[in-house]
């Protein structure tokens, strides 16, 4: 990982401070951490948050709780405005120690905008903060891990598939392309990523499909774009991996 930045949150009155950060399509903020807890959300566009090999895709109906001190990267698959809520740990009633997705409904979205005002009276701010805490409930969804490869032969395969998720060629073809046997590449994949080739490719495809779905593409279109022959095959793989349907995952 590149150098980690210690990034302080904006300061303000109260337990919650709201920061606003425009992100261009494809832009990612360097790995960093905050001394405060953070809730990352965007009213429009699709955010991505990465913690090590784990990625969360965040449409406007979903935000991610990031505990203080957790190193993460934040980016956008298309133009977005990151609205970050920062929570002082000693004034926060939540004790979540892992990154946790939460649902964002109309009321919470309105309160985030309300707390982002710089002319809000202290008593009004404290009342709004209390309601925000009441509205934060964890969502029962599994993040999609796509481990990076370090072995140059495995990395050559993973980089190709990341660039072209729809490539349906099998392990034999990729093994020949990097000059090893199928058996050797099978072993290298598990050793390097902790996953079989098929499992890694499934995770990669699902992660690549989520920004498309969050941006309004149909399941059939997203499935085809990442290499699935039918929407039903894509939905079945999504359920097996994540534990719910794409529609429910995206809220």
| Residue pLDDT, tens place only, 64-109 | 999 999 999 999 877 888 999 999 998 899 989 999 999 899 999 9
* Joined tokens for residue 121: 């009276």
pLDDT value, residue 241: 87
* pLDDT confidence bin for 1, thresholds 50/70/90: very low
Q: Where, residue-wise, is CATH 2.60.120.280 in the chain?
A: 5-135
Looking only at Cα atoms, what is the longest distance across the chain? 68
CATH number of 5-135: 2.60.120.280
Coil, strand, or helix at residue 25?
coil
Q: Where, residue-wise, is CATH 1.10.10.60 in the chain?
A: 146-249
Q: Do residues 87 and 39 lie in contact, with contact meaning Cβ atoms separated by under 8 Å?
A: yes
CATH number of 146-249: 1.10.10.60
> How many angstroms separate the Cα of 101 from the Cα of each of 21, 77, 83?
20, 18, 15
List pLDDT tens digits, range 105-126.
Answer: 999 999 999 998 888 888 999 8
């Amino acid at each position: 990982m590149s150098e980690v930045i210690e990034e302080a949150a904006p300061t303000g009155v109260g337990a919650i401070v709201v920061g606003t950060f425009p992100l261009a399509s494809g832009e990612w903020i360097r790995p960093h951490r905050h001394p405060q807890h953070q809730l990352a959300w965007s009213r429009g566009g699709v955010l991505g948050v990465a913690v090590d090999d784990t990625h969360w895709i965040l449409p406007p109906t979903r935000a991610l709780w990031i505990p203080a001190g957790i190193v993460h990267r934040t980016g956008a698959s298309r133009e977005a405005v990151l609205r970050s809520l920062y929570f002082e740990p000693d004034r926060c009633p939540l004790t979540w120690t892992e990154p946790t997705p939460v649902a964002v409904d109309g009321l919470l979205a309105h309160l985030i905008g309300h707390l982002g005002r710089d002319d809000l009276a202290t008593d009004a701010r404290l009342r709004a903060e209390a309601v925000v805490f009441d509205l934060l409930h964890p969502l029962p969804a599994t993040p999609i891990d796509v481990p990076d490869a370090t072995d140059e032969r495995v990395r050559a395969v993973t980089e190709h598939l990341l660039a072209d998720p729809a490539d349906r060629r099998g392990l034999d073809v990729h093994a020949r392309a990097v000059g090893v046997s199928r058996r050797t590449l099978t072993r290298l994949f598990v050793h390097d990523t902790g996953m079989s080739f098929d499992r890694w490719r499934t995770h990669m495809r699902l992660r690549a499909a989520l920004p498309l779905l969050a941006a309004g593409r149909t399941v059939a279109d997203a499935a085809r774009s990442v290499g699935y022959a039918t929407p039903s095959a894509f939905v079945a793989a999504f359920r097996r991996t994540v534990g719910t349907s794409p529609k429910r995952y995206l809220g």
